[in-house]
Amino acid sequence: MLPDKLKSLYRVTRARWEDWNDDYESAMRVANAVGCQLFTLDELYIADADSRWWSWRSAAMEAEVVDSPSDAAVQGLVGSPGWIVFGDADGDRFAVDLTPGPGGHTGQVIVLSREESIGASLEADSLTELVLPGRGTHGSHPRAYGEPPAVAHVNIGSVRSVEAAAHPALEVLSIGLWEGEPFSLEPVVDLPRLRTLRADPGTLADPLEISRLTGLEFLDLCPQDWRVLLDADAVPRSLLAAGIEVRNDVDPLPVVDLANEILARWDRPLITRTTLERQGKPRRSAADRPARPRDGRYRSPADGRHPGPAHRHG
């Protein structure tokens, strides 16, 4: 069921190209009036998680908090059944918001940016305001000045220690390239909001400390660190997703076995293997064929000798 104001918009225009008789200027007048390229009624959709430009893995590494600030007009969600997308502007999607944040109201117009994987920004208080001259544009809820970042990247070019990254509002901890001593996770053990941990190989002093991070939802580790957790039965039960970091030269079959061990602990479907076998005689490779020089004469691949000069008769 569409909101009344969205119904009214589509009573004025069906946003179908054939209705404009290939008149580009008419189509642009409609787009300029609403600030975006309108979808047809058949193209309207609900902005759920699968419709975002970015994957869930991108969202797991960000900190647009799901529990929105008390004054936020738009909920900090990946998707919502109350976000009805009706238009596009260079990849940014316009939607009517039927599930607003605490500081918003039903029917406001929001924009889901192609650059973001979570949340949306408030564009107008209503569709009516959107089409009126001088309509206001509102930004998303900004982080207060001086507030520590909810995402911390510990590596040789950023934050230099886990201690320096730790604070009660930390949600995502990513430990990257590091040339010093491995890090202890002790400083972040009791943080109430920490939900994502990613660590490069060799950066954790004791991977078993992860078992004390009882609120983790996403964990991304190398196979060696996963092996330590699995052997000790120390994988956090709070996990909703897991990642295995591997290099290109790693044999994929042991990684599949490792992934299946993780999946089995949550009774999830396992990764299946399909073996392809060649039937019949193998085709002769180019190395097995006689080489043909530019002069049209053949060389024997067995001894590499050149045949003698061709003789003409008559």
For 220, phi and psi rounded to 5 degrees? Answer: -125, 110
For residues 178 and 218, the model is more confident at 218
For 25, phi and psi rounded to 5 degrees? Answer: -65, -35
pLDDT over 90, % of the chain: 30
What pLDDT is attached to residue 296?
A: 52
- How many domains is the chain partitioned into structurally? 2
Q: Is residue 225 very low, low, confident or very high in pLDDT (cuts 50, 70, 90)?
A: very high
Residue 137 falls inside a structural domain: no
pLDDT at 46 over 60: yes
Residue 229 falls inside a structural domain: yes
**Beta bridge partner(s), residue 95:** 85, 110
For 267, phi and psi rounded to 5 degrees? Answer: 55, 40
Give residue 16's domain range: 4-131
Task: Please check whether residues 113 and 202 belong to one and the same domain.
Answer: no
pLDDT over 70, % of the chain: 75
Residue 277 falls inside a structural domain: no
CB neighbour list of residue 24: distance below 8 Å, 6 or more residues apart: none
- The helix/strand/coil state of 199 is strand
For 277, phi and psi rounded to 5 degrees? Answer: -115, 140
Residue 307 falls inside a structural domain: no
pLDDT at 87 over 80: yes
Task: Please check whether residues 37 and 116 belong to one and the same domain.
Answer: yes
Of the residues 78, 101, 131, which one is the last residue of a structural domain?
Answer: 131
Residue 182 falls inside a structural domain: yes
Round to whole Å and give the CA distance between 192 and 171: 9
Tens of pLDDT, residue by residue over 287-298, are 566 555 555 554
Tens of pLDDT, residue by residue over 164-211, are 889 988 888 999 888 889 999 999 998 998 999 999 999 999 999 999
Q: Is residue 64 very low, low, confident or very high in pLDDT (cuts 50, 70, 90)?
A: low
Residue 304 falls inside a structural domain: no
